[in-house]
Each structure stands twice: as C-alpha cells, then as structure tokens.
C-alpha cells in the first residue's frame, strides 16, 4: 500500500514498469486516496489538515483493514506499506496506530519529527508549513501535533513491522536526523520481537538520486528489503 495524503496532491493510478518485479511475484499494489490528498476535490483535502490531520491516518488504516478483513487479499503477515516525505508521516502514524497490521514499512525521507520541526522557525520551510499543519506556538496545535507526531508516539513494548528508513544529508525539506531519530526510537521503545529497523542515509537531497540509474539502484534496494522481509525470493518470478 502506498499513499501521500497531504497538500491536496493527487496520486493518480498509473502504470510504471518499475512495479513489475512486485506484480510478477503476485503482490497486489494499492494506491490509497486518503483524505488530505486532492483526488476527490478541495473538500477532500480540507478534511485532513490542521486539526483534522488524523483523518489521513485513519483512512489509511481503514483501507488496510478493508483488504485484510473484507476482501481478504492480504493478511497482516504479508501486508506492507510505503510513503515518501509527508507520505512517510502517514506511514509512521499508521504503524503507531496499528503496528500489528503491517509486516513491512518503507519510510522514505519521512517527515516523522513533526513537533520539533514545526517549532523550529530557523528551518527553511517551517513557517510556510504552518499553513498545512498548524503553528505549534499555539497551544491547540501543539497538543494536536503532539498527539500524532510519529516520533513522539511510538508505543512502548508493541511489536512493530520491519522498517526501512531513508534520508539524505543534503535534504533541505526533511532533515536527515528525522529518520535517524525515528529509527533510534523504534529500536529503544518497541518490543524486541519487532521486525528489523534499517536506516539508510546517503549523500542526496529530498528525492534521492536524480539520475535514472541512481534512482533504480535505490529502488532495487527498497525492493530487496521488502521481498526479503515478506519471505519472497529475489529470483522467483
């Protein structure tokens, strides 16, 4: 499962040849149009910002439960999720909300230290981002951000899925210490029975490698981690 769910961005269903290694191994690829995105119009976006942001996370978890409990296309031991940037926030919040629902989570340059980032006005994007998340210098926004910021809500002793977290040392949008701090928190707080927590930081900006071959190498790394944790052979097609 993948989703974004912020800024009114629309993630339309589209064909990508790079997904064939997953499809050829019987994986069902799902794009969830959660509130906060723009797929269903302006109201769909407005329904998950400021003090309504948790609607995005609830929608994502509900979609996962739909495929597990109603369609039976997946089971928690075979269900994975991925998100990039604000989509990484979505995935981080979802695995905090329902850690036993997923087997693997890919969080790419994830915006997971929401509270600290939004209170640091010296960062280049913070004050503009108040238009999306709210200004934590106001008590009501501080309390609300605190209630869902992934880094601040890892659940003590719970079994979490295997997580791959990536970051870029030159990322001007999501600082590399956000995935690093989240990885450390998962290792410290989650149950010892949780899956692996792998942190990968490279010399990149927000979108990792800009050239085609670097992008494909990064994607291959992601897929290798995913398939290994799902117990699928890298060579089985």
Known catalytic membership, residue 171: yes
CA distance 160 to 192: 9
Smallest Cα–Cα separation from 222: which of 180, 173, 166? 166
CA distance 163 to 88: 11
Known catalytic membership, residue 147: no
Task: Give the CA-trace dihedral at 25, 85, 218, 211, to 10 degrees.
Answer: 120
Using the structure block, give the residue that is written with the tokens 């951000």: 145
Known catalytic membership, residue 206: yes
CA distance 95 to 85: 16
Token output for 81 = 């999720």
Question: Strand order in 104-108's β-sheet?
Answer: 80-84, 104-108, 162-168, 197-202
CA distance 224 to 179: 20
Active-site position among 6, 56, 80, 85: 85
Smallest Cα–Cα separation from 32: which of 49, 48, 18, 11? 11
Q: Which residues contact 220 (CB under 8 A, 6 or more apart)?
A: none
Active-site position among 171, 175, 194, 218: 171
Active site residues: 85, 171, 206
């Amino acid at each position: 499962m993948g989703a974004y769910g912020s800024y009114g961005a629309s993630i339309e269903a589209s064909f990508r040849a790079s997904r064939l290694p997953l499809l050829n191994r019987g994986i069902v690829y799902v794009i969830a149009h959660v509130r906060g995105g723009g797929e269903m119009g302006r109201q769909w976006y407005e329904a998950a910002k400021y003090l309504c942001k948790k609607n995005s996370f609830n929608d994502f978890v509900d979609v996962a439960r739909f495929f597990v409990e109603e369609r039976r296309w997946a089971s928690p031991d075979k269900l994975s999720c991925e998100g990039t940037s604000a989509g990484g926030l979505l995935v981080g919040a979802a695995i905090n909300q329902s850690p036993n629902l997923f087997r693997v989570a890919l969080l790419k340059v994830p915006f997971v230290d929401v509270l600290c980032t939004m209170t640091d006005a010296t960062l280049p994007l913070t004050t503009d981002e108040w238009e999306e998340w709210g200004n934590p210098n106001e008590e009501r926004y501080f309390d609300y951000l605190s209630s869902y910021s992934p880094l601040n809500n890892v659940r003590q002793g719970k079994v979490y899925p295997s997580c791959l977290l990536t970051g870029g040392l030159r990322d001007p949008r999501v600082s590399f210490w956000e995935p690093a701090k989240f990885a450390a928190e998962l290792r410290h707080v989650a149950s010892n029975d949780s899956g692996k927590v792998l942190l990968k930081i490279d010399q990149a900006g927000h979108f990792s490698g800009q050239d085609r071959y670097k992008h494909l190498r990064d994607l291959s790394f992601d897929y290798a981690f995913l398939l290994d944790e799902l117990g699928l052979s890298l060579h089985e097609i």
